[in-house]
């Protein structure tokens, strides 16, 4: 009996192209004023209610991914994750500089909104809090997000040439229909709602569903001041008419007051 038995032959997966030819994808404007700021996999797990084990070997797309380390961390856990952001069209040096300037801007803004932020050392301000806080303090939260950007920048340098990071902007994604098992989109659609009109929101949601073979999850459903996106009922009706079912689901996470739900979208079952 040899000490080292030969491993069983690897099951080859059939080649499945993800990227649609560039010519079939309409150009989209870059929205430069949205901050290039990102969170770690740990926060994604909480606000999207993800089960990492169940995603192993699955194709997951993170849209408007910014400098989040979700994709780098997910790939390290053998999830086939891809990230999309219009900023990825830029070189690494630009992204590094933008992280510096945008993080300073977001951190100053977060400090100014401190009373809305739900971290454990503010419990006296929020005595009613459930178990929805992931950070002990604001300092801890900001440090975690800085670390996330550093992980992203290192991974972008190594893996951008392999297609892990794709420069594109909603409402056009350069992928074939039903390419991904799960599509995620955090901190763009509703938190930045004022920058986009209603038609853009409908088109963006339809595009997220088009490239998904299962579910789309979007978080949060409110603006930075915690007010729910006012056109959500109209958006859901419009999507329903386009054959897309939607569901608002509570999540066990609330970084800022009001941001405690996600929207799930999927193709509505068609009558046989």
Ligand X SMILES: C[S@@+](CC[C@H](N)C(=O)[O-])C[C@H]1O[C@@H](n2cnc3c(N)ncnc32)[C@H](O)[C@@H]1O
Closest approach, Cβ 270 to ligand X, in A, equals 29
Residue in the block written with tokens 């979208």: 265
Closest approach, Cβ 192 to ligand X, in A, equals 7
Closest approach, Cβ 167 to ligand X, in A, equals 10
Positions that interact with ligand X (CB under 6 A):
31, 34-39, 63-66, 68, 85-87, 169-170, 186-188
The C-alpha atoms of residue 223 and residue 112 are separated, in whole angstroms, by 16
CB atoms within 10 A of CB 15: 5
DSSP assignment letter at 186: E
Specify the residue, 245 or 264, whose C-beta has the smaller distance to ligand X: 264
Q: What is the DSSP string of 174-195?
A: -B-TT-EEEEEEESSTTTTGGG
The C-alpha atoms of residue 25 and residue 130 are separated, in whole angstroms, by 44
Closest approach, Cβ 83 to ligand X, in A, equals 9
Specify the residue, 38 or 174, whose C-beta has the smaller distance to ligand X: 38
Specify the residue, 59 or 102, whose C-beta has the smaller distance to ligand X: 102
Asked whether the beta carbons of 175 and 61 are under 8 A apart, the reply is yes
Asked whether the beta carbons of 104 and 142 are under 8 A apart, the reply is no
Specify the residue, 11 or 24, whose C-beta has the smaller distance to ligand X: 24
Closest approach, Cβ 172 to ligand X, in A, equals 9
Specify the residue, 224 or 228, whose C-beta has the smaller distance to ligand X: 224
The C-alpha atoms of residue 32 and residue 18 are separated, in whole angstroms, by 26
Asked whether the beta carbons of 167 and 85 are under 8 A apart, the reply is yes
Q: Which residue is nearest to ligand X (CB)?
A: 66
Asked whether the beta carbons of 178 and 208 are under 8 A apart, the reply is no
Specify the residue, 164 or 187, whose C-beta has the smaller distance to ligand X: 187
Closest approach, Cβ 181 to ligand X, in A, equals 18
Helices and strands: H and E segment counts in the chain: 7, 7
């Amino acid at each position: 009996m040899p000490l080292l038995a030969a491993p069983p032959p690897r099951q080859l997966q059939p080649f499945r192209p993800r990227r649609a030819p560039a010519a079939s994808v309409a150009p989209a404007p870059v929205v430069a004023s949205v901050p290039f700021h990102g969170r770690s996999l740990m926060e994604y797990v909480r606000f999207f209610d993800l089960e990492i084990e169940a995603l192993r070997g699955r194709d997951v797309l993170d849209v408007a991914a910014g400098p989040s380390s979700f994709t780098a961390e997910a790939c390290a856990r053998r999830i086939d994750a891809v990230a999309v952001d219009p900023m990825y069209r830029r070189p690494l040096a630009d992204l590094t500089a933008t992280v510096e300037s945008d993080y300073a801007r977001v951190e100053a803004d977060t400090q100014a909104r401190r009373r809305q932020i739900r971290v454990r050392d503010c419990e006296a301000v929020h005595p009613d809090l459930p178990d929805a806080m992931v950070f002990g303090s604001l300092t801890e939260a900001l440090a975690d997000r800085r670390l996330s950007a550093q992980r992203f920048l290192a991974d972008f340098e190594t893996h951008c040439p392999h297609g892990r990071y794709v420069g594109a902007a909603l409402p056009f994604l350069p992928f074939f229909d039903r390419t991904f098992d799960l599509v995620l989109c955090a901190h763009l659609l509703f938190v930045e709602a004022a920058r986009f009109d209603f038609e853009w929101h409908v088109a963006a949601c339809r595009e997220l569903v088009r490239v998904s073979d299962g579910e789309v999850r979007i978080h949060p459903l409110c603006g930075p001041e915690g007010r729910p996106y006012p056109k959500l009922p109209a958006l859901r009706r419009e999507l329903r008419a386009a054959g897309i079912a939607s569901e608002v689901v509570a999540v066990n996470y609330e970084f800022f007051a009001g941001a405690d739900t996600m929207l799930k979208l999927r193709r509505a079952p068609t009558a046989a």
